Amino acid sequence: MGEPEEPLLRLGVCAMAKKARSKPMRAILERIEEHGGIEIVVWTEPFVYDAPVEEWPVVDCMVCFHSNGFPLEKAEAYVSLRSPLLINSLKEQWWLLDRRKVSMTLERVGVPAPRMLFVNRDAPDDPNFAWTPTEEGDFVEGDDFVAIGERKIIKPFVEKPVDANRHDVRIYFPSSAGGGCKSLFRKVGDRSGQWNPDINRVRRDGSYVYEAFVPTGGIDVKVYAIAPSYAHAEARKSPAVDGKVERDANGKEVRHAVRLLDDQKRVASKITSAFRQGVCGFDMLYTPIGTSYVCDVNGFSFVKGSEKYLNDAAALLHTICMASLRPARFLEIWDRRQEEVAASGDTDDVEDRRTAVRRLSSAMPNAPSPRADGVSGEELLAVLIVARHGDRTPKMKCKVNTGDPALLSLYHRWAPEDAAAKKKEVKLKRPRQLRDAQQVVAKLVEELASSTESSDLASSAVDDSDERKLKLMHEVLQEGGHFSGLNRKLQLKVKKSAADESGLFRATKLQAIMKYGGLLTPCGCHQAEAFGRDAAATLYPGGAAGLMRLHSTFRLDFRCYTSDEGRVQQTAAHWIRTFLNLDTSTGDITPILFNYINIDTKMLDEMPHAVEATIERARARIGELSALGRAGGGGDDSLADGLSFHTAGKVADLQPAVKAAQGDGSETSGAASDDEREDKERDSLVRQSDSPEPAPRLLSRRQKKPALGESLYSAWMRWSSIRRAFLRDEAVEGDSPSTAFDLSKISDIFDSAYYDTVHNAHLRLPQVVELFAAIRQFATRVVPNEYGGLPTRRLKIGSTICAPLLSKLTKDIDKCLSDPSRPGVVKEGAAAGEAASDDDGSRTFRRAAVRVCGVSDEAAVPPQNSFQAEEEQELLFLDVEEAESKGIRTARRRVLTRAYFTSESHIMSFVNVLRTAHLLDNKAAAVPLVSEEAEAHLAADYLGYLSAVVIRVLQAPGAAAPRVEMQVSAGASLDGTGGCPALEPRRRLDHPQLTLERLHAALRSCEEYGSKQINWGSVESSAEDLLGAE
């Protein structure tokens, strides 16, 4: 008689019905039963609530986990009574319900997490987790930070309720970015977040965790661990970007399985062990530079829709139960399973299935075309974009000399204690500072209006000549509603100081400088979004759908860099919205700024001191050349050629333009004078009336207002100040243009006329239209030649200005040349979790992902990246099996994409470098980088708003090396017809003989050449060398 069969193990499942009866749970339990040896027992939800624990089924092992409404205490009583083997410990599940306890546990076991601050408005309930209740007076909230004692978290930061069952999370952004917060919540339809521009103060209705915001490039990673040795990871679009849930054709959220690194797997092992959760999910923030942080631990979680995970989970749970309770039976089942796997290994059949999957996937409508540029099989390796910012308002400044006590007091409120003694200036740009300044200036203007005859005010506080400027300052501070920090800045410079009775130096005379304008317009936003759509549709195989397929499957190595100017950052953010197909309906770009944009002022904004004097001399020389077009000629052909890159006859166009500008300047002054007289009339009426409103007769004449919130007074002052700066005070009739005019102001006149032509066409100002027609002829020649006249000067100045950008671009191209089949990928042979070193042997390194938000001169939106080392290689890749299921044969291959947004000086200098780089070649007949046709167009074009250079690197099958192509767009049209100008189409730029190696060598040579100029401290020059023959 044989031995009796060993009874089946009983695996109990005790959870809320929504979880216990879910599709993935049922699939896993069915697979566990199929493995044999285990019987499944599932508690019903009413039974859990109603039946006493003594009546609960007796089981050998138990899956029991908390979700909202689950009676965890009752489950603990059952475990004490029956002592089953627990897959997930119940005691530690209490920890998971409090985000503070989760954070403390992660810290104890050495798991990286964002920096946190706890505001405790409740007492501790567990001796293992002690915290001190926060007194209301200890918690300090500023405009851009929260703090308790010496511990401070600076915006952007994340606010989470300590109760893990609450999912109403907020992300607060700094005032320098316009403030506001993103509210995150459980998915409702296709939304999981909402932008709240007016919410800036944190909540005080309970205990909260404040967590430093970690930019992730718009990607969240969710990890599903089973026991200490298994972890499955999926990535999805972060709800912090635009709050829109990406869903597939079946209505499910789009997620992709990704391969974890060894150190990330170790984190998963630590978490399952520390919380004693056999099945545990957690959220990981993975930065583009390769750093990981755990921001939430969720407890028992299953993957949805992954057959591989369901099979793995069932096998592992079966193994845990059998190996723990029936080891002999476990070994028998394990041996049989191994034999079955070995016997069924039909590799030919597997290969046939994989081939079929690829064939079916390539037939999908969103699959990218294999053609990259009209050449069959050619593959896109890299896209590099250098672009100027979009349409902006004119940049202006207003200076006032004053000794008014209120302004002196304003200075001392915001200045360090020793600032007056050292004559340090103070820059006011934060909202609280500007609100303070607004109140001071408003009071001063009111006093001036009521006491214009007061001798003490007139003589000691504000000079008569500055009264008008002070009024303008008041107008500017009132414009645009709340302060965003993006378009206004008040500088206070000490002109005189004296020691008081205590010996402390105090300022007695100040110069107040208001800088304003330069803000990206709605038209500029539209242009940036149009450029983003066009780039997505035309630069990648398969168009926008192909780009999204690359991005969603982690095959797009994308980074975006900007200067710290607000208009440049905003341009990049609007471009990214359409380039990456983010939701454009919400209107918010602040989360995009913090998730995708890296600020590098040195690379994209700084003007080296070595080149400043050279540009000034170039401007002076332009003034001399502008006199050459007088009747009878007499101009030097070589100088004229240097001025315009055209024939000498083109210089003759400048003299009529100067005369027209002079005439139109007086006409503009006359038109503005009408506004001035009207403004004085209004002031008179206001002083005589109790009401601040103008008389109805004046109001009717002002129904048409200037665009974008500019007041009529500000518009008049804008033109008045430009005209005064352009016309030299001591000019007399017969003077040369360089004597009669300050030609460095040509660009200001052009900007202002262009702005009014585009945005204020509804005001019907014929003088402005005439002025723009004249100044356009002048400015499109003068402004480009400020960066050098002859090719050699353009090369010298351009290389000096763009040296850091050229260095970065050569590193981008290095990635394609060193391993053209896989740019931006960890090289074979590198250890798991470790980036390979570059070809030159220099090592990459990981930079801190939690960065402190700073404030720049115009706007500091994302924090400053001041790194100079190589970029970290991205390490997150699509899981191999996931890639095969989607028909992707090259999961580790990436399209390197870099976008650099900058200003006029850098885009013009960069184009000049491309046009003249061949002059550094020692060969007598060096081939230029740009074609003759492109050179002819560039000589005539003006690189306007959103002008751009695009470089693409492509690889043909069997080709020895990749090829390169370059395109250029002159940016916004200058037709001056009103309305938002369209962007000029891109033209082919590269010379037919240009190779990638040649471009790489030329850019490197120019970068070295420019760096030498910077190190020498000046760009050597003489009058002849600037614009004349060399």
**Residues 506-558: pLDDT tens digits?**
888 888 888 888 889 999 999 999 999 999 999 999 898 888 888 877 788 89
On the question of pLDDT at 139 being above 60, the answer is: yes
User: Which is nearest to 583 in space by CA: 189, 194, 174?
Assistant: 194
Q: Considering only 82-91, 362-371, 600-609, 652-661, which range has the smallest mean pLDDT?
A: 362-371
What is the torsion angle, in degrees rounded to the nearest 10, for the CA atoms of residue 320, residue 322, residue 326 and residue 332? -130
Tokens of 852: 């402190």
Classify 543 in phi/psi space as left (phi over 0), alpha (psi -120 to 50) or beta.
left
pLDDT of 471? 81
**Res. 915: pLDDT tops 70:** yes
Pairwise CA distance, residues 261 & 802, whole Å = 37
Cis peptide before 820 (omega within 30 of 0): no
Q: Is the pLDDT of residue 699 over 50?
A: no
pLDDT band at 443 (very low <50, low <70, confident <90, very high): confident
| pLDDT value of position 336 | 64
The answer for residues whose C-beta is within 8 angstroms of residue 468's C-beta and 6 or more apart is: 717
CA 298 to chain centroid: 30
φ, ψ dihedrals at 291, nearest 5°: -100, 140
Across the range 434-457, mean pLDDT stands at 75
* Mean residue pLDDT across the chain: 77
Lowest mean pLDDT among 105-109, 847-851, 881-885: 847-851
Could you report the per-residue pLDDT of 11-27, keeping only the tens digit for each? Answer: 999 999 999 999 999 99
Q: Is 290 left (phi over 0), alpha (psi -120 to 50) or beta?
A: left
Structure-token pair, residue 515:
């800088």
**What is the arithmetic mean of pLDDT over 160-169?**
95
Least confident of 429-443, 616-630, 674-688, 945-959: 674-688
| Euclidean distance between CA atoms 245 and 190, whole angstroms | 5
pLDDT-based confidence at residue 502 (cuts at 50, 70, 90): confident
| pLDDT in the model for residue 590 | 85
For the chain, the structural domain boundaries read 9-86, 94-305, 382-390+522-607+793-974+981-1019, 395-517, 646-788
Return the minimum-mean-pLDDT range out of 424-438, 461-475, 768-782, 999-1013: 461-475
For tokens 């009103």, the residue is 978
The whole-number pLDDT of residue 140 equals: 94
Q: How confident is the model at residue 1016 (pLDDT cuts 50, 70, 90)?
A: low
| Bridge partner list, 313 | none
Confidence of residue 685 (pLDDT cuts 50, 70, 90): very low
Give the highest mean pLDDT range of 160-164, 473-477, 730-734.
160-164
pLDDT at 423: 79
Per residue in 46-70, pLDDT tens?
999 999 999 999 999 999 999 989 9
Residue 172 has pLDDT above 80, yes or no: yes
Residue 610 has pLDDT above 80, yes or no: no
- Strands 488-499 and 505-517 come out as antiparallel
pLDDT for position 1019? 55
| pLDDT greater at residue 468 or residue 790 | 790
CATH number, span 9-86: 3.40.50.11950
- Measured in whole angstroms, the distance separating CA 986 from the mean position of its chain's CA atoms is 25
Whole-Å CA distances, 543 to 387, 883, 989: 20, 20, 21
Which of the pair, 649 or 111, is modelled with greater confidence? 111
Please, which residues bridge with residue 196 across strands? 181
CA neighbor of 190 nearest in space, from 152, 244, 141:
244
In angstroms, the CA 947 to CA 391 distance is 11
Residues 411-438 have pLDDT tens digits of: 888 888 777 877 788 888 777 788 888 8
Which tokens belong to 485? 């920090």
* pLDDT value at residue 487: 56
Yes or no: say if 498 and 505 are a contact pair by the CB < 8 Å rule. yes
Number of helices (H) and strands (E), helices first, in the chain? Answer: 36, 30
Q: What is the rounded distance in angstroms from the CA atom of residue 705 to the CA atom of residue 762?
A: 9
What's the confidence (pLDDT) of residue 459?
45
Tell me, what's the pLDDT at 851?
28
- Which regions of 662-750 does DSSP assign to beta strands (E)? none
Q: Which residue has the tokens 């959760």?
A: 277
Strands in 605-718 per DSSP E? none
pLDDT above 70 coverage of the chain, percent: 73
The answer to whether 524 and 565 are in contact (CB under 8 A) is: no
According to DSSP, the residues that pair with 119 across neighbouring strands are 208
* Strand partners of residue 38: 9
Neighbours of 340 (CB within 10 A): 10
Identify the band that residue 611 occupies on the pLDDT scale cut at 50, 70 and 90.
confident
Of residues 832 and 181, the one with the higher pLDDT is 181
**pLDDT class of 484 with cuts at 50, 70, 90:** low
pLDDT one-digit tens code per residue, 216-240:
888 889 999 998 889 999 988 888 8
- pLDDT digit string, tens, across residues 185-195: 988 888 888 89
Is 836 a residue whose pLDDT tops 90?
A: no
Beta bridge partners of 853: none
Same fold, 94-305 and 382-390+522-607+793-974+981-1019: no
- Evaluate whether 223 touches 231 at the Cβ level (below 8 Å): yes
Residues 6+ apart with CB under 8 A from 396: 515, 516, 517, 718, 721
Structure confidence at residue 729 as a pLDDT band (50, 70, 90): low
Q: Please determine, for residue 209, whether its predicted confidence score (pLDDT) is greater than 60.
A: yes
Judge whether residue 504 has pLDDT over 80. Answer: yes
pLDDT tens digits, residue range 306-327? 888 999 999 999 988 988 888 7
Q: How far apart, in whole angstroms, are the C-alpha atoms of residue 131 and residue 151?
A: 15
Kindly provide the b/e burial profile for residues 32-61, where b requires at least 16 CB atoms within 10 angstroms of the residue's own CB: beebebbebebbebeebeeeebeebeebbb
What CA–CA distances, in Å, run from 347 to 70, 350, 447? 47, 5, 91
Using a pLDDT cut of 90, give the percent of the chain over it.
37
Q: What are phi and psi of 220, to 5 degrees?
A: -110, 145
- pLDDT of 270-297, one tens digit each? 999 999 999 999 999 988 777 899 999 9
CA atoms 147, 153, 156, 159: torsion sign: negative
pLDDT band at 807 (very low <50, low <70, confident <90, very high): very high
Structure-model confidence comparison of residues 281 and 675, the more confident one: 281
In the sheet where 145-148 sits, what is the strand order? 139-141, 145-148, 151-154
pLDDT at 1026: 38
Name which of 816, 327, 832 is nearest 824 in CA terms: 816
Task: Quote the pLDDT of residue 357.
Answer: 27
**pLDDT at residue 453, rounded to an integer:** 53
Whether 701 has a pLDDT exceeding 80, the answer reads no
For domain 382-390+522-607+793-974+981-1019, the CATH class is: alpha beta
Q: Which residues contact 346 (CB under 8 A, 6 or more apart)?
A: none
Mean pLDDT confidence for 692-697:
39
**pLDDT tens, 367-425?**
333 344 444 468 899 999 999 999 999 988 888 888 888 888 888 888 887 778 777 88
Predicted pLDDT at 337: 59
Mean pLDDT along residues 669-679: 43
User: Residue 783 CB: number of other CB atoms within 10 A?
Assistant: 19
859: pLDDT strictly greater than 60: no
Domain 94-305 has CATH 3.30.70.20: no
Confidence of residue 771 (pLDDT cuts 50, 70, 90): confident
pLDDT at 666: 42
